[in-house]
Amino acid sequence: MISYLVTVVILVSIAALVGLALNLQWGLAGLVNFGVAGFVALGAYTLAISAPHVGWLAGMVLAAAVCAGLSMLLSLLTIRLEENYLAIVTIGFAEIVRILLLNLGELTGGALGIADIPRPFAGVTPAGWGDAVILAFALGLVVIVFAFSEALVRSPFGRALRAVRDDATAAAALGKPVLALRVRAFAIGGAIMGLAGALHAFFLTYIDPSQFTPIITAYAFMAVIAGGRGSNLGLVLGAGSIMLILEATRFLKDVIPGVDGVQLSALRLGMIGVGIVLLLILRPEGLVSEPKRRFADFFPPESEKA
């Protein structure tokens, strides 16, 4: 049982990382990214291909760097386009990644994928503790990325991003470098998605193109919407609750007589959909709404200063 829960928590962590990244791009900077699955896949493959040669740490750094670099280029493409076109470009990007992974057989193993991906500390891990190491790793990453995102939100950079999100023209008129801000936000998000992909590869130790379907993108958007766009805490709750519902419903057929697997498989996904719709009707701002920051939060009045 514990080991199964560990698996679930690792998957929640991966989903949370992807969600935090999307929250940064979409929630904070207003950049729609429908190519999330492509970036996660790219991170996973970069790690799987490089780690046997350069070690896991360098592999992870590389995964983040490659994803950040490509995110940057991708967001630059939209320089002359309205922001909604970024969404279309990213869908195309995810498809390109999927097809390249499938057809670059020499490098990616094609449809067969890559097996035996080395895990961090594999040599010094006692037998049976492999998943525990990944768990610690995953939780550590989530904490770091969460803290980083929260710091980012409060920084002048985060403030400028929100300004760009809410009204790009006004922000530009105030002298904010709109394009540079967007490119940077997109790149940081891409890097985090790459890290999530790397974690996925470490955990499964086997990756193939069919693992990175657009459902990853859909779950990330669900997590952001359910949790509350713009709120990192809400996002972690959102990602957690979606994965928990998905996994917990597995047990319904064991507990409730008369519900069988075939019906349940259809119901499970339907239930998530209904849940999201209900949530949007009853609580459109998400589980935790984006905190309304006031001038005083950033610049406390003289009297309150210690």
Partner 1 sequence: MTRSLPLTRRHVVAGLASLPAAALLGRPAAAQAAEIPIGMVLPFSGATGPYGPDMKKAAEMAVKWVNDAGGILGGRPLKLFIEDSETNPTVGVTGTKKLLEVNKVELVGGFWGSPIALAAKPIILAADKVQMVSCSANAVTEGDTKGMVFRFQAKSTSWGPAGAKVMKTIGAKTAVVLAQQNPFVVAMIEPFKAEFAKLGGKVLDVVMYNPDQPSYRSEVEKAFGGDPDAVFCLSLLTDFVSIAKEVYRGGFKSKIVALSIGADAEGKFLQAVGPEVANGIYHLQPAPPLDSPSYKKFVKEMGAAPGTVFLFAGNAHDQMCVTALAMEHAKSSDAKVWAKSVFEVCNPPGEEVDDVVKGLELIRAGKKIKFVGAGATCDFDARGDQINRSFLVQEIKGGKNVSLGIIT
Residues that bind partner 1 (CB under 8 A): 1-5, 7-8, 11, 98-99, 102-103, 110-113, 115, 128, 130, 200, 204-206, 208, 210-211, 213, 215, 231, 233-234, 247-248, 250-251, 254-255, 260-262, 264-266, 268-269, 287-289, 291, 297, 300
Q: Report, in Å, the least distance between residue 296 CB and partner 1.
A: 9
Range 6-11 contact pairs with CB under 8 angstroms and sequence separation of 24 or more: 6/131, 6/132, 6/135, 7/131, 8/243, 8/244, 8/247, 9/135, 9/138, 9/139, 10/131, 10/134, 10/135, 10/138, 10/199, 10/203, 11/203, 11/243, 11/247
Q: Which lies closer to partner 1 via its Cβ, residue 79 or residue 262?
A: 262
Residues 6+ apart with CB under 8 A from 76: 179, 183
Q: Which lies closer to partner 1 via its Cβ, residue 7 or residue 65?
A: 7
Q: Which lies closer to partner 1 via its Cβ, residue 177 or residue 213?
A: 213
The one-letter amino acid code at 108 reads T
Alpha helices in the chain (DSSP H): 2-22, 36-54, 56-77, 84-103, 105-108, 130-154, 156-166, 168-173, 178-204, 215-227, 232-248, 252-255, 261-282, 295-298
The answer to whether 19 touches 78, Cβ cutoff 8 Å, is no
Q: Which lies closer to partner 1 via its Cβ, residue 132 or residue 168?
A: 132
Q: Which tokens hold the place of 219?
A: 């779950």
Q: Which lies closer to partner 1 via its Cβ, residue 190 or residue 197?
A: 197
Q: Report, in Å, the least distance between residue 133 CB and partner 1.
A: 14
Q: Report, in Å, the least distance between residue 227 CB and partner 1.
A: 11
Q: Report, in Å, the least distance between residue 290 CB and partner 1.
A: 9
Phi/psi at 207 (nearest 5 deg)? -130, 150
Q: Which lies closer to partner 1 via its Cβ, residue 177 or residue 261?
A: 261
CA-angle at 277, arms to 272 and 278, nearest 5°: 95
Q: Report, in Å, the least distance between residue 191 CB and partner 1.
A: 22
Q: Which lies closer to partner 1 via its Cβ, residue 85 or residue 251?
A: 251
Q: Report, in Å, the least distance between residue 43 CB and partner 1.
A: 15
| Exposure letters 113-140 (e unless 16+ CB within 10 A, then b) | bbeebbbbeeeeeeeeebbebbbebbee
Q: Report, in Å, the least distance between residue 40 CB and partner 1.
A: 11
Q: Report, in Å, the least distance between residue 223 CB and partner 1.
A: 16
